[in-house]
Amino acid sequence: MAERLPSKEKVAGSNPVRRSSNMNVVKPAKKFVVSKFAAFCIIIFFVSLSDGIMSYVSPIYIESQTANAFLTGIVLSISSFFGILVDFYLSEHLWNKDYKFFLYWMLIFAFLFPLVLVFFNPQFLVFVLAMAFWSIYYELRGYASFDFIHKKMGRNKHTYAWGVISTILSISYALGPTIAPVLLTLNMKISFITSVAMVFTGLAFFILFFLKHNKNGHSSREIVIKKSFWGELQILKTLLSKTWLLISFQVAQMLIDVVFWTTGIIFAANLGKIHPWGAFLITAYTVPFVIVGFFVDKIPVKMGKKRAAFYLSIGAGITMIMLAYSKNVPYLLAVAGLCSILYGIASIYMSAVMEDYIARLGHFGNDMATLSQLSANIAYAFGPIVFGFIAQYMGLETPFVVTGILLIFLSVLCLAYIPRKIRMPQKELISLAES
């Protein structure tokens, strides 16, 4: 079936001018893009703060009801497996939607996650439903971010935009687990209600800045075809044939985060028995994330964002290995901080690289976003299981080594085999969409 391609949009970040009526002077028009980006970031902050609270509270609540740590782990891992299904569904059926659509439904499902746990009796199926809602709004947040930056920020602002969003996420996920223990001392349900209140605040900004100014707006991606499941798989397969090594690299990158937030927590608790600072290993890992987003776009990158990400990830992989071969706690804290800086900058560069590909792919951009989202879900779905097994039989330090070696290996492969510019198969994608 023939497809009508969407019309070209204005280049984000362009600065139209207007002539003063009093004198022959050209003045720059006011930019609404900046205020929209600020509003978008505020929405993401409040939803992520809610998520930070729920990430801390929900495992405690589920384990208190099941009295089974293993079953709790299975329930929590369901979220990432749902996330993989959500990515496929969004890419097949909702590829033409824009960031306003994703923001709206992100807020709806972010409401439903805590509300399900408040109003329904605690049973296994209820927990599974809650995990489904969790995975849906988490994935929608990613799609909303990719699409907003594509639509509203120029290509030269991709690194800046992802740096800001990275900082916002880091702050919200640092505040969430700090607020949650205080709320738990009051009441479990108060924690859930506070989470709902955070989402409601985000919804208020959404109504003010996105619905109010776009009552009559229409998506620029008009639906003219309906992808079949098989057709969508073919499109993803075609994109993956060009980017599989890059996606594999992203999975390895994300495993750093998985290690620290799974076996790393137990590792930190053991270090706390050796030295009073040992329990702050996770803090040493998370705090630098807040900082790097502020300056990452100021760093000159002559070699390109992709290659810079590969070199930085080699450094991050080396620090991961270093964490396993010392019991000196101050040294380990410093190494964890260095790992966080290297990984933080590399991950922002990779998000900007993926954003560049999304911009180049036009109305196939959400398919590229799907592959990027899948890399995170694969890491979080299988990483905890694999690392738990390795830690059980080979020690808590071993997952750090395995992750470091894998990341170094894939970084070197990427440097050797990924060209400076990956040519996207536009004609082939269009023919697949038309078939």
Residues 337-380: pLDDT tens digits?
A: 999 999 999 998 998 888 888 878 777 777 788 888 888 888 88
How high is the pLDDT of residue 240? 82
pLDDT bin (cut points 50, 70, 90) of residue 391 is confident
How high is the pLDDT of residue 19? 43
- Contact assessment for residue 231 and residue 366, using Cβ atoms and an 8 Å cutoff: no
Structure token digits, residue 187: 């009441």
How high is the pLDDT of residue 432? 59
Residues 204-255: pLDDT tens digits?
A: 989 888 876 554 444 444 444 555 667 667 777 888 888 889 999 999 999 9
pLDDT bin (cut points 50, 70, 90) of residue 297 is confident
Residues 148-195: pLDDT tens digits?
A: 888 888 777 888 888 888 889 888 888 887 888 888 888 888 989 999
Nearest to 343 by CA among 372, 382, 312, 366: 312
Average pLDDT over residues 288-317: 85
Amino acid at 274: I
Give the least confident one: 57-71, 93-107, 113-127.
57-71
Average pLDDT over residues 265-283: 81
Residues in the chain: 435
Residues with Cβ within 8 Å of 422's Cβ and at least 6 positions away in sequence, in order, are 242, 243, 246, 357
Euclidean distance between CA atoms 285 and 387, whole angstroms: 18
Euclidean distance between CA atoms 430 and 196, whole angstroms: 42
- Residue whose entry in the numeric block shows the structure tokens 């000159």: 300
How high is the pLDDT of residue 217? 42
Residue 290 has pLDDT above 50, yes or no: yes
How high is the pLDDT of residue 421? 78
pLDDT bin (cut points 50, 70, 90) of residue 335 is very high
pLDDT bin (cut points 50, 70, 90) of residue 30 is very low
How high is the pLDDT of residue 178? 80
Amino acid at 197: A
pTM of the model: 0.75
What distances in angstroms separate CA 370 from CA 1, 89, 206, 356, 359, one per listed residue? 24, 10, 24, 14, 14
Residues 61-103: pLDDT tens digits?
A: 887 787 766 677 778 778 888 888 887 787 777 767 888 898 9
Residue 21 has pLDDT above 50, yes or no: no
How high is the pLDDT of residue 29? 46
Domains and CATH numbers, the chain: 30-215 (1.20.1250.20), 224-435 (1.20.1250.20)
- The C-alpha R_g of the chain, in whole angstroms, comes to 22
Residue 42 has pLDDT above 90, yes or no: yes
Higher pLDDT, 144 or 266: 144
Higher pLDDT, 232 or 274: 274
Tell me the three-class secondary structure of the chain, residue by residue: CCCCCCCCCCCCCCCCEEECCCCCCEEECCCCHHHHHHHHHHHHHHHHHHHHHHHHHHHHHHHHHHCCHHHHHHHHHHHHHHHHHHHHHHHHHCCCCCHHHHHHHHHHHHHHHHHHHHHCCCCHHHHHHHHHHHHHHHHHHHHHHHHHHHHHCCHHHHHHHHHHHHHHHHHHHHHHHHHHHHHHHHCHHHHHHHHHHHHHHHHHHHHHHHHHHHCCCCCCCCCCCCCCHHHHHHHHHHHHHHHHHHHHHHHHHHHHHHHHHCHHHHHHHHHHHHCCCHHHHHHHHHHHHHHHHHHHHHCCCCCCHHHHHHHHHHHHHHHHHHCCCCCCHHHHHHHHHHHHHHHHHHHHHHHHHHHHHHHHHHHHHHHHHHHHHHHHHHHHHHHHHHHHHHHHHHCCCHHHHHHHHHHHHHHHHHHHHCCCCCCCCHHHHHHHHHC
What distances in angstroms separate CA 354 from CA 108, 142, 310, one per listed residue? 27, 12, 14
On the CB side of 138, CA atoms within 13 Å amount to 24
Euclidean distance between CA atoms 301 and 297, whole angstroms: 9
Percent of the chain with pLDDT over 70: 83
Structure token digits, residue 432: 């697949």
What average pLDDT is seen over the chain?
80
Residue 16 has pLDDT above 50, yes or no: no
